[in-house]
């Protein structure tokens, strides 16, 4: 009889499921800092575009620090090779949302083809991006 | 008289009872999680059905006009302040809203002032078929507060959970907007030149025909779900020319709703000009959102979809193999 009770308990326990949001598998925490001419860059928008999988994004805080987000806040990025872009723009006319915007860091860092920034993520990582005028 | 047979005393042994209880327990345990999800599953099905009707409407429109309806009826970005009607306004008669369509005076200077015989403004007329029941953040179908280019700005407008796709279009705060090639280079899709538009609709008066979906209609996104609460432009409403221009450049379910988990930064705030992210496809369904493909089929795509695959689906003529998604 005790065997039956144990069996019953196991069967019930095995059927309890959940349906919550999860990050895709193979995600590792990635954080870092962005500096431009040795000054930390605040509010810069960073995008990690992997060869395979969803992209990860982050915005730097006042110290230039960032933590990447793919699905859940600060969960990181998928493992593998990434192309990286960094953007920081300012509206030339704050009153008009459709006004032209100018870049506060060299524009090439915002272009997938020209940024030249590449990282391979194989595990939890802390990165540093040093941007220069060259 | 029938001969009486010898009877055993009726009854169950303890083991038999336990086995029966165990079987019942298993059945209940199987059923319970299903019941918990049943309501959301029903809402999701209705949500999907609404989108299917829009797919059929688009194809019927195409049969008549030999092209999909243009994104809206403005021809230059200076006209965004004036409502000239959205693509959904053109589709109205194709999803059983002919009376609404007939009430539109297409020569009106500003469509915001067009009213129904009852006096109700069309831009405030809630169309239930354009709302996804899973999205509980639409209020009573109208939203106000953050709308741009409408007057008065604080006025609420009837919104839509379904928006058209400009494809992998260049948009602010959508880096890597087209990782395959550079189709769709015009920022915000502000053009009527098909060469500069990645997807089947432009932000201005241009809409593709099926002939323009050279990747094949099965491999091109026509429409998707959006969340008006999380996008400044969607709050302009389903009837407005400057509302429905979504894109596939930023991913699925990118959090841009202030006060919701994950939202933040210049690309996560609805009020800032972070339109790549706020005008991306998103829903309240767990893990992804529905999209309408060019052949009229609906797919639920995961928010963890391969970024490059999403770009290929958004672009109507990239010439790339899409693969599984």
State pLDDT tens for residues A1-34.
555 555 555 555 544 444 556 677 789 999 999 9
Comparing A24-28, B246-250, B282-286, the range with the smallest average pLDDT is A24-28
Identify the residue with better confidence: B41 or A94.
B41
Q: Which of A25-39, A95-109, B26-40, B262-276 has the lowest mean pLDDT?
A: B262-276
Q: How confident is the model at residue B5 (pLDDT cuts 50, 70, 90)?
A: low
- Residues B22 and B230: their CA atoms lie apart, in Å, by 48
Is the pLDDT at B135 greater than 50? The verdict is yes
Q: Give the global pTM.
A: 0.86
Q: Which of B148, B176, B305 is opposite residue A85, by nearest beta carbon? A: B176
- Tell me the pLDDT band of B151, cut-offs 50, 70 and 90: low
Residue B4 has a pLDDT of 59
Give the list of residues 6+ apart from residue B246 with CB closer than 8 angstroms, or none: B163, B164, B165, B166, B224, B226, B279, B280, B281
Share of chain B above pLDDT 70, in %: 90
Average of pLDDT values for A109-134?
A: 90
Classify residue B88 as left (phi > 0), alpha (psi -120 to 50) or beta.
alpha
For range B122-129, the mean pLDDT? 94
Q: At what angle do helices A2-15 and B14-65 cross, to 10 degrees?
A: 10
State the smallest CA–CA distance between residue A62 and chain B in angstroms. 12
Res B33 pLDDT > 90: no
- pLDDT at residue A15 in the model: 47
- Out of 2.40.30.10, 2.50.20.10, 2.60.40.10, 3.40.50.300, the CATH code matching A26-131 is 2.60.40.10
For residues B22-48, give the mean pLDDT: 88
Q: Assign B7 a pLDDT band (cuts: 50, 70, 90).
A: low
Lowest average pLDDT, out of A59-63, B46-50, B55-59, goes to A59-63
Q: Which residues of B touch A24 (CB under 8 A)?
A: 304
Q: Do B37 and A17 touch (CB under 8 A)?
A: no
Give the pLDDT score at B21: 96
In chain A, where the domains are located = 26-131
Q: Name residue, tokens 């949001």.
A: A21
- pLDDT at position B122 is 92
Q: What is the pLDDT of residues B80-107, one digit of tens each?
A: 778 889 999 999 999 999 999 999 999 9
B193 touches chain A (CB under 8 A): no
Angstroms from A32 CA to nearest CA on chain B:
16
Structure ipTM: 0.78
* Main-chain dihedrals φ then ψ at residue B181, nearest 5 degrees: -150, -160
Q: Is B78 on the interface with A (CB under 8 A)?
A: no
* Span B172-191, pLDDT tens digits: 776 777 777 778 888 889 99
Q: What are phi and psi of B215, to 5 degrees?
A: -75, -10
Burial of residue B27 (CB within 10 Å: 0-12, 13-18, 19+) is: exposed
Q: Give the strand order in the sheet containing B221-225.
A: B245-246, B162-165, B221-225, B288-293, B298-302
Say which residues have a Cβ less than 8 Å from residue B313's Cβ, sequence separation at least 6: B219, B220, B221, B248, B291, B293, B301, B322, B325
For the stretch A63-108, pLDDT in tens is 999 999 888 888 899 999 999 999 888 878 777 777 777 889 998 9
Using a CB–CB cutoff of 8 Å, tell me whether A73 touches chain B. Answer: yes
Q: Cβ–Cβ of B304/A71 closer than 8 Å? A: yes
Choice among A9-23, A35-49, B292-306 with the minimum mean pLDDT: A9-23
Q: Are B279 and B164 in contact (CB under 8 A)?
A: no
What pLDDT shows up at residue B146? Answer: 56
Identify whether the C-beta of residue A50 lies closer than 8 Å to the C-beta of residue A81. Answer: yes
pLDDT for residue A134? 75
pLDDT of residue B57: 97
Q: How far apart are CA B126 and CA B45, in angstroms?
A: 20
**Most confidently predicted of A44-53, A113-122, B93-102:** B93-102
Q: Is pLDDT larger for residue B28 or for residue B293?
A: B293
The helix/strand/coil state of B274 is coil
How many CB atoms sit inside 10 A of residue A58's CB?
Answer: 27
Q: Which helix (H) or strand (E) holds B245?
A: strand B245-246
SS3 A37: coil
Please name the member of B15, B37, B266 whose beta carbon is closest to the beta carbon of A59. B266
For residue B26, pLDDT over 70 is answered with yes
What pLDDT is attached to residue B80? 78
Would you say residue B248 has pLDDT above 60? Answer: yes
**DSSP string across B115-154:** B-TTS-BGGG---GGG--TT-TTSTTSEE-SS--S-SSTT
Distance from CA of B58 to the nearest CA of A (A): 30
- Across the interface, of A5, A24, A47, the residue whose CB is closest to B175 is A47
């Amino acid at each position: 009889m005790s065997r039956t009770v144990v069996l019953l308990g196991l069967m019930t326990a095995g059927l309890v499921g959940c349906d919550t949001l999860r990050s895709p598998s193979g995600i590792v925490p990635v954080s870092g800092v962005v500096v431009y001419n040795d000054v930390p860059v605040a509010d810069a928008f960073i995008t990690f575009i992997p060869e395979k999988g969803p992209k990860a994004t982050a915005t730097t805080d006042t110290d230039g620090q960032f933590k990447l987000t793919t699905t859940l806040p600060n969960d990181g990025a998928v493992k593998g090779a990434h192309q990286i872009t960094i953007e920081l723009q300012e509206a030339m006319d704050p009153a008009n949302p459709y006004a032209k915007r100018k870049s506060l860091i060299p524009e090439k860092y915002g272009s997938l083809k020209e940024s030249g920034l590449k990282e391979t993520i194989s595990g939890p990582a802390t990165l540093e991006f040093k941007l220069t005028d060259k | 008289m029938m001969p009486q047979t010898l009877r055993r005393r009726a009854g169950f042994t303890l083991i038999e009872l336990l086995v029966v209880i165990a079987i019942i327990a298993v059945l209940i345990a199987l059923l319970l999680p299903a019941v918990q999800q049943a309501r959301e599953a029903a809402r999701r099905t209705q949500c999907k059905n609404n989108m299917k009707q829009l797919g059929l409407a688009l194809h019927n429109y195409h049969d008549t006009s030999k092209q999909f309806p243009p994104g809206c009826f403005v021809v230059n970005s200076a006209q965004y302040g004036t409502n000239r009607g959205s693509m959904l306004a053109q589709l109205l008669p194709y999803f059983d809203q002919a009376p609404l369509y007939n009430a539109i005076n297409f020569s009106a200077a500003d469509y915001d002032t067009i009213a129904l015989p009852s006096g109700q403004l069309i831009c405030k007329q809630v169309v239930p078929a354009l709302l996804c029941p899973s999205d509980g953040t639409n209020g009573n179908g109208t939203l106000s507060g953050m709308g741009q280019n409408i007057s008065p700005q604080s006025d609420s407008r009837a919104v839509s959970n379904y928006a058209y796709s400009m494809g992998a279009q260049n948009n602010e705060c959508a880096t890597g907007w087209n990782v395959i090639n550079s189709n769709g280079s015009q920022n915000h899709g502000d053009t009527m030149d098909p060469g500069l538009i990645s997807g089947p609709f432009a932000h201005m008066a241009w809409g593709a025909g099926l002939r323009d979906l050279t990747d094949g209609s099965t491999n091109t996104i026509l429409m998707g779900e959006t969340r008006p609460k999380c996008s400044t432009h969607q709050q302009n409403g389903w009837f407005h020319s400057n509302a429905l221009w979504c894109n596939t450049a930023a991913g699925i379910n990118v959090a841009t709703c202030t006060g919701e988990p994950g939202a933040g930064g210049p690309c996560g705030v609805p009020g800032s000009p972070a339109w790549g992210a706020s005008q991306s496809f998103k829903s309240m369904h767990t893990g992804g959102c529905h999209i309408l493909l060019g052949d009229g089929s609906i797919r639920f795509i995961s928010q963890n979809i391969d970024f490059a695959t999403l770009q290929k689906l958004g672009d109507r003529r990239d010439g790339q193999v899409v693969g599984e998604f």
